[in-house]
Amino acid sequence: MVTEAVRLLKLEAELESLVSGGRLPLPAYPTVVQRAQQVMSRDEYGLDEVAQLIASDASLAADVVRCANSAMYRRGAPVTNLAQAVTRVGARQVERLILASCLSPRAQSAGPLATLRRIIWIEGLASAALCQELARIRGLRQEEAFLLGLIHDFGKIVAFSHVEALCEKHGLDTAWPPDVWADLVGRHHVAIGLALAKAWELPQLVREVISAHHGGPGECADPGLLGVVKTTDQVVERLMKNPGIGEERLALIPGVMNLSEREALVHVTVKVPELVAAFETPVPTGTVPPTHIAHPESTLERQTRPVEFAVTVKLSRQTREYKATTIAPNGLALTGELPLDEGRLHEVTVHGVPGPLHMWALTRVSRRAGSSYQVEMHPFALSGMERVLWNQLVAGVPAAA
């Protein structure tokens, strides 16, 4: 009888063989990004040329307009067309957003490990935004910092995709905990990322940062930008584990040097959800897709208490109604008639004491429970009054008279 441990070892051995033998199929570098780079490599080019290039792809154009209207880039009235969006964001930054838009479908496509790929994608976009801001403060190259943040761990997404393919090839439908899958991919994502950077002919600096951001061997021609990536990795790790990340948490990270950096990073983290939402693929409705992920019985921390209040979740132009049943410092358990897509950020309104509280939350679990669905979601990037209200909600503080 083949044990689960043996299945896992065989799966990893096959993945490692493909990587070490240079036989792992890699996605092609997006053509539209190449064309944008060709246009912008000229000494003189117009923003209208960039807009026309983007307009040739309706999905890409929509992503760029949504980005321009997100909190990350919003200034004044909303933009209503592509030319305005390109002008607002700037041609060089649009080039990075084009790459993000082209990578998004691979990160968010359906599959039994889609939840894990989507979470890595959220981390990548958060890292890109934070790297860019930290580079600005430190007088480093912001556009390169955005690219490094976006791409340095993309090898994980490619690895998850190939693990899914290997499971399908061998008819494996075993579900393992998220940490097991993450550890498997973590052992190989640097090699896959380096292979991808080579195939895409990315700058040498990108390859050096991919190799060294976990402390791997090799020197980096720009230790300043490497330091930015390493620091933001720590920030993103805390962002994904805590409802809010204030200056007091950032002060515990050695690479965040002073108060101005902490304030700037907090300011950017609250904008991350809208940036992520700008690249979202359509939300599935009414089904829980097959998965190879064995979730724990609960993702909520132990200090839970029962509650009973309404929660509404915004999905495009629709709103879904849920009832909160349990609250913990790191999240809520809900019940409702429809599932929510795991690994996706949702706009949520909590109608509880001392609410209402409007926030973004990351859906961690969505499973059938009898005739309804049980959902667990964790608040994401809370700050200011949102964070105060959440803490009061967790503590059960009554509304002021």
CA distances from 306 to 75, 187, 323, 395 (A): 42, 40, 11, 11
- To 5 degrees, how large is the angle CA 379–CA 385–CA 387? 30
User: Strand, helix or coil at 363?
Assistant: strand
Count Cβ neighbours within 10 Å for each residue of 110-131 and write b for 16 or more, e otherwise: ebbbbbbbbbbbbbbbbbbbbb
Q: What is the pLDDT of residues 186-214, one digit of tens each?
A: 999 999 999 999 999 999 999 999 999 98
Domains recognised in the chain with CATH numbers:
4-278 (1.10.3210.10), 305-395 (2.40.10.220)
Q: How far apart are CA 68 and CA 66, in angstroms?
A: 5
Spatial neighbors of 100 by CB under 8 A, at least 6 apart, are 63, 125, 128, 150, 279
What tens-digit pLDDT sequence spans the chain (401 residues)?
458 888 889 999 999 999 999 999 999 999 999 999 898 888 788 888 999 999 999 999 999 999 999 999 998 889 999 999 999 998 889 999 999 999 999 999 999 999 999 999 999 999 999 999 999 999 999 989 999 999 999 999 999 999 999 999 988 888 999 999 999 999 999 999 999 999 999 999 999 999 999 886 667 899 999 999 999 999 999 999 999 888 888 888 888 778 899 999 999 999 999 999 999 877 656 667 789 999 999 999 888 999 999 999 998 778 999 999 999 999 999 999 999 999 999 999 999 777 689 999 999 999 999 999 999 999 999 988 899 999 999 998 765 44
Q: How far apart are CA 153 and CA 120, in angstroms?
A: 8
